[in-house]
Structure 1
Amino acid sequence: MSSSSGSGSGSGDIGQLSEDQQTALQQFTAVTDQSVETAIPLLQRCQWNVQIAISRHFDGEPAEPAIPEETIPAPQDIRRRETLANGFGRSSAIGRRNLEPAPRVVPQPEHQVTQQAPFILSLVLFPFRFAYGIVSKLFNVFSYLFPFLPRLIGMRAAPNARRRDTSGRRPLNPRDTAARFIREFEEEYGAHEIPFFEGGYAQAFDLAKKELKFLLVVLVSSEHDDTASFVRETLLSPDVVAFIRNPANNIIVWAGNVQDAEAYQVSNALNCTKFPFAALIVHTPAVSSTAMSTVARIVGPTPPATFMSRLQTAIAQNSEPLNRTRATRAEQQAARNIRQAQDTAYERSLAQDRERARRRREEEEARRRAEQEERERQEAKEREARNLAAWRAWRARSIAGEPGPEVKDAVRISLRMPSGDRVVRRFAPDADMEELYAFVECYDVLQEQQASQEGAEKPTAYEHEYKFVLVSPMPREEFDLKKGGTIKERIGRSGNLIVERTDLDEDEGDEDE
């Protein structure tokens, strides 16, 4: 009678459980082989978390009798999901919306992949590897006979522990692994239109989070009997393919074979207990500003209509928060664009002001430099004029007077000055050519009778340069000072000379400036 009563009570309790609670109860009883009356209290104490309940059961926690029906509170369609890694604190906020946090799985970096050992070390380790192979095969046999053993050992291991690859598949980086899966999928099931993400799970996860899209994770096992039928009848169904490819649904599809290390880690992180497996992950702003949650789990063979209905329901429930988040991000991006445009305009205005200030400084500096050069040039001209006047006054005092009639060998020179005047002067036969040049240079001073003034001295640090040359008209010959000699030796007893100035080009250049 008691057995009948207990069974009836258990059946009544099962009818009041939600769909997720019934799934958790089935998983727990399949692993532990416990009765429903014993399993329900333990699951209630563990907040319906299958992993924690199984761990407590195998740790030897005593089972409590089922609570009488009248004391059992009305079940709620709320399931607090938590993992051993996340703890109890975080699940309280997530459980209110029946959301499970979606992990971001990063596979082992390519540079950390174990390299092949040297040949000598391989010989030394061969006996250990041989023994390990035998133990592994025995464990596989026991795993086949007792299916709960792999799950039990896997639950006690670290959640993200990396499985040893015994399938003989060479480990690749995430992008190459995805390409290999797509190639094998097409070889097995033919051409298709499913837009698989050609990258790693972490990249697809980050893309869905950044662009506020839904990430559909599909995990298959080539060793599972239902994989082929699920792919051909459900995943490749025209309705499902059209739904996935519809841009309005914003779905990113990432798929993997659990024989690959990355897909195996993803299956452990998503608590996958049966294949084929599909999960829909999306950003949930109600949980936190960065949270990614699993909003739908589709386990085992599922008809196309049910598969698409589950996806549609999850997308419909989470589209409104996503749209609000998109609108908020659009407003924030518009505000950032406005600020950036304002900052750009401000920087451009500052750059223009700096450029104008620089040009003003350069123009002012050029003007100041030009004024300084002009002032120095004028000072140099005035200094040159003073030195020239002083030198003429000094040199005019030392010019010998014109020889008298008694000097029979005097040289008679007829000079045509630059002013057009004709000057005739007699010079001593031994007078140097420089004497003739000095006479021409100091002619104005001699005419003004300043040569007789006392006190004229040669200016210091001044080297006089004659800026004219004496030339005979026909035939033309220049009598410059470089060749030296006396007037008689160079010109003879008499001569007609023209004074040609050599500084006319410099004077014209100064006038042009």
Structure 2
Amino acid sequence: MVDVADKLGYFQAVTGLEDPDLCTQILQAHNWDLELAISSFTSSDPHDNNDDGDASSSRSNDDHHNRDRFAELDDDDGTAFRPPGIAWRVITLPISIVSGSLGLVSGAIGLGFWAAGGVLSYSLGMLGFGGGRVGGSARLVPVSSAAGESIEFVASFDRDYGRNHSSKPEFVSEGFMDALQRSRSSFKLLFVYLHSPDHPDTPSFCDGTLCDQVFVAFLNENFVAWGGSIRSSEGFKMSNSLKASRFPFCAVVMPAANQRIALLQQVEGPRTPEEMMAILQRVVEDSSPVLVTARVEAEERRTNLRLREEQDAAYRAALEADQARERQRHEEEERLERETAEAERKRKEEEEARERAEREAAEREAARVRMRQEKALALGDEPEKGPDVTQVLVRFPNGERKGRRFESNTKIQTLYDYIDSLGVLETEEYSLITNFPRTVYGRDKESMSLKDAGLHPQASLFIEIN
């Protein structure tokens, strides 16, 4: 339920009256019936039937009157509308047609003249009209009561008249406001046909004129066609809004502002196809500059939008490329840092290993030196020649020879200590041998004396590296 404040605001938006007290008085006089108050306020416009004899004078008078009324209308952005010069009058649509067709509760919908660059402020997709796919499956769209009535009219017209003709008007199966939006989107005028099933001229007009092949081709090419039966709710309300007094009734309209339409032409009573085409052709010619200008402006807007989108896409691509290069640079820097750190770690490890090896080698060498010194001290002085003294000659693998005298009861172990103390060999893994006969005096014979080993009074030994 629309409250009093909403009704008052809506009435001011539709009528253009700024005095809230005056608007309140008008609404109170109509028992706060918003549709009745708006209809009463707008019904003061003069209305003349457009018979052939007085069409020219009627259009002239209405054009002059509408220029004054259009001067009071403002677009959504605050700029004044200018009449296209072809409208007879501006008609305020009943709230029930606007809300019934679009499922709205209240609020102004800025339609705007094409010539003024107006754009519908609603979207069929947002309001639940039109097809769509969500998640890969068909989206169920609720059908409004106005669309249901239109679908029923199209089916009835096809059933009664379409079967007998190869062509018929392509009436849209949707509510009036949606058809108006379709005409605006396609830059065409909206052809309105109000169908009176009980009128005696209706069958002949539908069969002879509306379904005439030449007329149908012209109509479908140049207009968006909408039809409604006056028995239906929306058709009846449109007949009241358009003040239809004779049938068959046809009209040509275009969008205006604040739930209004501009009436460009209306035809009442039966007409031949040739008469209808002559009338509609004149309307098309008169409105052509407006439609062409609107189409050019829309194309410019689409071109500008496409250019902006291309510029935005190019900017995003350049930004992404810069970001990719920056990431690559960072990754390269991080890789180099990792490689440098890894190389430094390996260098330190190698340096530490080398220092450790050198230290261990030095320690081993120091140990060997100490060992040689200790063994040399343990040998004592070389004895003088005598019957209990053995002369030993040792030949090293490098050809060097060393000799020394030992007591005959000296252990073979002492021979090993003597060789070790010389420091000629780099290893302690060796054996003493004699050639003739070959005898090995290994570490297992270290406890034998030279005399017991058969090396007294003299022996010549070779060193064999194990």
TM-score of the superposed pair, with normalisation by structure 1: 0.46
The equivalent residue for 1:77 is 60
Query: Residue type of the partner of 2:251?
Result: A
1:230 and 2:234 equivalent?
no
Deviation at 1:296, TM superposition (A): 0.7
Q: How big is each residue's C-alpha offset from its partner over 1:232-266, in whole Å with a ceiling of 9 and x where there is no partner?
A: 12211233212213x3x3x1111122333333343
Contact 2:98 2:259 in 1 (8 A): no
Structure 2 partner of 1:186: 158
Distance 1:243 1:49 in 2: 28
Q: How does 1:394-433 map to 2 (within 5 A)?
A: 394=363, 401=371, 406=411, 423-425=427-429
SS at match of 1:48: coil
- Give the structure-2-normalised TM-score: 0.51
Q: Which residue of 2 aligns with 1:350?
A: 319
The answer to whether the 8 Å contact 1:212/1:283 transfers is: no
The Cα of 1:173 is off from its aligned counterpart by 4.1
Contact map agreement 1:174 1:200 (CA 8 A) in 2:
yes
- Change in CA separation of 1:291 and 1:268 when aligned onto 2, cut-off 3 Å: closer
Does the 8 Å contact 1:49/1:80 carry over to 2? no
Classify 1:328/1:397 alpha carbon distance in 2 versus 1 (closer, same or farther; 3 Å).
same
**How many Å apart are 1:231 and its aligned residue?**
1.0
Q: Which has the larger radius of gyration?
A: 2
* CA deviation map 1:397-453 (0-9, x unaligned): 678958998487x999xxxxxxxx9944279xxxxxxxxxxxxxxxxxxxxxxxxxx
Runs of at least 5 residues in structure 2 that lack an aligned partner in the other structure: 1-42, 49-56, 75-80, 105-142, 380-409, 418-424, 432-442, 445-463
Q: Number of aligned pairs?
A: 292
Are residues 1:326 and 2:301 paired? no
In the alignment, the residues of structure 2 paired with residue 82 and residue 426 of structure 1 have an alpha-carbon distance, to the nearest angstrom, of 133
Out of 200, 221, 226, the position equivalent to 2:175 is: 200
Aligned-residue offset at 1:109: 7.1
Offset at 1:353?
2.9
Q: Secondary structure at the match of 2:98?
A: coil
| Contact 2:189/2:253, CA 8 A, preserved across alignment | yes
Match of 2:271, SS state, is coil
2:266 is the alignment partner of 1:297? yes
CA distance in 2 between counterparts of 1:213 and 1:382 reads: 88
Q: Does 1:48 align with 2:46?
A: yes
Offset of residue 179 of structure 1: 2.9
Aligned partner letter, 2:172 = F
Give 1:164-175 correspondences, 5 Å limit.
Answer: 173-175=145-147
Q: Which amino acid aligns with 2:46?
A: W
Cα distance, 1:98–1:426 mapped onto 2, change above 3 Å? closer
Aligned counterpart for 1:367 among listed residues 305, 317, 336 = 336
Shift of 1:93: 6.3
Which amino acid in the other structure matches residue 218 of structure 2? F
C-alpha deviation, 1:497, in angstroms: 11
**Among candidates 79, 89, 99, match of residue 100 of structure 1:** 89
Cα distance in 1 between the residues matched to 2:156 and 2:212: 19
**More divergent stretch after superposition (220-229 vs 313-322):** 220-229
In structure 2, the residue matched to 1:261 is 233
Counterpart for residue 350 of structure 2: 381
Whether contact under 8 Å (2:170, 2:225) holds in the other structure is: yes
Rounded Cα–Cα distance in structure 2 between residues aligned with 1:76 and 1:177: 32
* 1:75 CA drift (Å): 9.4
Give, in angstroms, the shift of residue 193 of structure 1.
Answer: 3.0
Asked whether the equivalents of residues 94 and 101 of structure 1 are also in contact (C-alpha less than 8 Å), the reply is: no
Q: Is the 8 A contact 1:218 1:256 kept in 2?
A: yes
Q: Distance in 2 between matches of 1:373 and 1:269?
A: 87
State the secondary structure of the residue aligned to 2:252: strand
Question: Cα offset for 1:95?
Answer: 10
CA–CA separation in structure 2 for the residues paired with 1:90 and 1:46: 17
Distance in 1 between residues matched to 2:234 and 2:148, nearest whole Å: 11
> Per chain length, whose mean CA-contact separation is higher, i.e. which structure has more relative contact order (CA < 8 Å, sep 6+)?
2
Structure 2 distance, partners of 1:82, 1:425, is 130
Q: Quickly say closer, same or farther: Cα 1:222–1:88, change in 2 above 3 A.
A: farther
Distance (Å, rounded) in 2 between the aligned partners of 1:77 and 1:267: 23
Distance 1:225 1:379, change over 3 A: same
Query: Post-superposition shift, 1:82?
Result: 8.7
Shift of the alpha carbon at 1:269?
3.5
Q: 2:101 touches 2:144 (CA, 8 Å); kept in 1?
A: no
Are the counterparts in 2 of residues 283 and 322 from structure 1 also a CA contact under 8 Å?
no
Decide whether the 8 Å contact of 2:86 with 2:286 is kept in 1: no
2:284 is equivalent to residue 315 of structure 1: yes
How far apart are residue 280 of structure 1 and its match? 0.8
Shift of 1:315: 1.1
CA distance in 2: counterparts of 1:219 and 1:281, whole angstroms? 13
Q: Is the alpha carbon distance of 1:172 and 1:184 closer, same or farther for their aligned partners in structure 2, counting shifts above 3 Å?
A: farther
What's the secondary structure of 2:62's corresponding residue?
A: coil
C-alpha spacing 1:102/1:390, structure 2 compared with 1 (3 Å): farther
Q: Is the 8 A contact 1:107 1:261 kept in 2?
A: no
For the 8 Å contact 2:87–2:262, the answer to whether it is kept is no
**1:274-307 C-alpha deviation (Å, 9 max, x unpaired):** 43321112358xxx89985221111232332222
In 1: Cα distance, 2:157 partner to 2:465 partner? 112
Q: Is the 8 A contact 2:63 2:87 kept in 1?
A: yes
Deviation at 1:311, TM superposition (A): 1.0
Q: How far apart, CA to CA, are the structure 2 residues paired with 1:95 and 1:357?
A: 57
Quick one: which amino acid aligns to residue 334 of structure 2?
A: E
Aligned CA distance change for structure 1 residues 385 and 213 (closer, same or farther; 3 Å): same
Q: CA–CA distance in 1 between the matches of 2:329 and 2:181?
A: 53
Q: How does 1:238-257 map to 2 (within 5 A)?
A: 238-245=213-220, 247=221, 249=222, 251-257=223-229
Q: Deviations over 1:43-63 (max 9, x none)?
A: xx955259xxxxxxxxxxxxx
Cα separation, 1, equivalents of 2:295 and 2:58? 36
Q: Which amino acid aligns with 1:252?
A: V
- Displacement of 1:380: 2.1
CA distance in 2, matches of 1:237, 1:227: 14
Report if aligned partners of 2:162, 2:211 keep a CA contact under 8 Å in 1.
no
**Letter of the 2:90 counterpart:** P
- Structure 2 vs 1, CA of residues 361 and 226 (structure 1 numbering), >3 Å: closer, same or farther? same
C-alpha distance in 1, partners of 2:213/2:59?
Answer: 37
Deviation at 1:103, TM superposition (A): 5.4
Cα contact 1:283–1:292 (8 A) shared by 2? yes
